[in-house]
Amino acid sequence: MFHSSTQKAHWIFRSKDELATQRENTNKQYQSRMASKLNLSQGQFLTPSEEFKFLQYYETRLWDFCRHFRPPLPPNVSATALMYFKRFYLNNSVMDYSPRNIYMACLWLSTKVEEFNVSISQFVENLKESPQQSMRSEDLILALELPIISALKFHLTIHNPYRPMEGFLIDMRVRCAEVPDVDVLRPAADEFLTKALKTDAALLFPPSIIALTSCLQAAAANNLNIQPYIVETLFAGQSEEAFNNCKSQMKKIRSLVKKASSLAPPEEIGKLKNKLEKCRNPALTDERLLVFVDDDDDTISVPVETVAAFGNEFDALDF
């Protein structure tokens, strides 16, 4: 259940300000660690806002890759991958790890956690690369799997809003007289969820509230009113405080989606990539992240730089 989950305990922030502070601290920690090594001044590093724009760009790339993936991915796989990606960069900088490599590895990990059966060779076929490059991509994705798991604090279960949304639609079919055909809500509800997942909503609000907001938004888009269902059915017998808290959260989610910033234009992303080349961590190139598996004793060699980047959590693992 969500209320006893690691997601609620460790990955739901109290406010947008707290979330912004976390990102700023991650940026400052990287600058403090790398300033002398790279011989750069503060202004030569990516700022927190520039990192955020960069991540927004790659979140869209990830979502587009999921939409065109073959075999088709269930929405919960894509949503879990996106949450892994967001969580990873709360504690890591894009100047340390390439977002493109990370989002591929996050998606690969989500297919396993969400039990979507696809082999690594099938996975990289979607990259449409040459055979040699595909083999290298396989190695790189597998190399990043363990560092990502560690960065996520081994909290791999993601409570996405898709399941509670389905629950609300099923319940409305029986107990919501205001909506004679709940299937008309699904397209708009799915569209709203997609927009919400691209924001920080899942880092700020419970999945059930995001799901209920999507149903409310879909009803409004179809000129239907489900407020009586929410008040008289869902919150029947509950306190006014509980209802007001839910109402407040739904307003914030709708506002967050409505005010979501548009993506930076391609020319700005290009400038950020050029700036990134000067301030990225040279010790974490793709080549240094590759994992080599010894078939004789099944041991895995992980580069020292990778282990150092994630502290002592690797000490408890049996390589």
Which residue, 213, 243, 258, sits at the end of a domain?
258
Q: Are residues 124 and 192 in the same domain?
A: no
Residue 231's domain comprises 164-258
Q: Which two tokens stand for residue 90?
A: 């709360």
CA distances from 136 to 52, 128, 301 (A): 28, 13, 16
**What is the rounded CA–CA span in Å between residue 134 and residue 121?**
8
**Does the residue 318 lie in any domain?**
no
Q: Are residues 297 and 273 in the same domain?
A: yes
Q: Are residues 53 and 34 in the same domain?
A: yes
Predicted local distance difference test score (pLDDT) of residue 3: 87
**Does the residue 191 lie in any domain?**
yes
Predicted local distance difference test score (pLDDT) of residue 261: 80
Predicted local distance difference test score (pLDDT) of residue 1: 86
**What is the rounded CA–CA span in Å between residue 191 and residue 157?**
24
Q: Are residues 116 and 223 in the same domain?
A: no
**What is the rounded CA–CA span in Å between residue 93 and residue 99?**
9
Q: Are residues 180 and 270 in the same domain?
A: no
Q: Are residues 147 and 19 in the same domain?
A: yes
The phi, psi pair for 293, rounded to 5°, reads: -100, 125
**What pTM was computed for the model?**
0.88
User: Consecutive sets of 10 residues in the chain, 319 residues long: mean pLDDT of each?
Assistant: 92 96 97 94 94 94 95 96 97 92 95 96 94 90 92 96 96 94 96 95 97 96 94 92 95 94 89 93 69 36 39 33
Predicted local distance difference test score (pLDDT) of residue 121: 94
Q: Are residues 153 and 41 in the same domain?
A: yes
CATH number, domain containing residue 45 = 1.10.472.10
Q: Are residues 12 and 101 in the same domain?
A: yes
Provide the residue type at 78 as one letter.
S
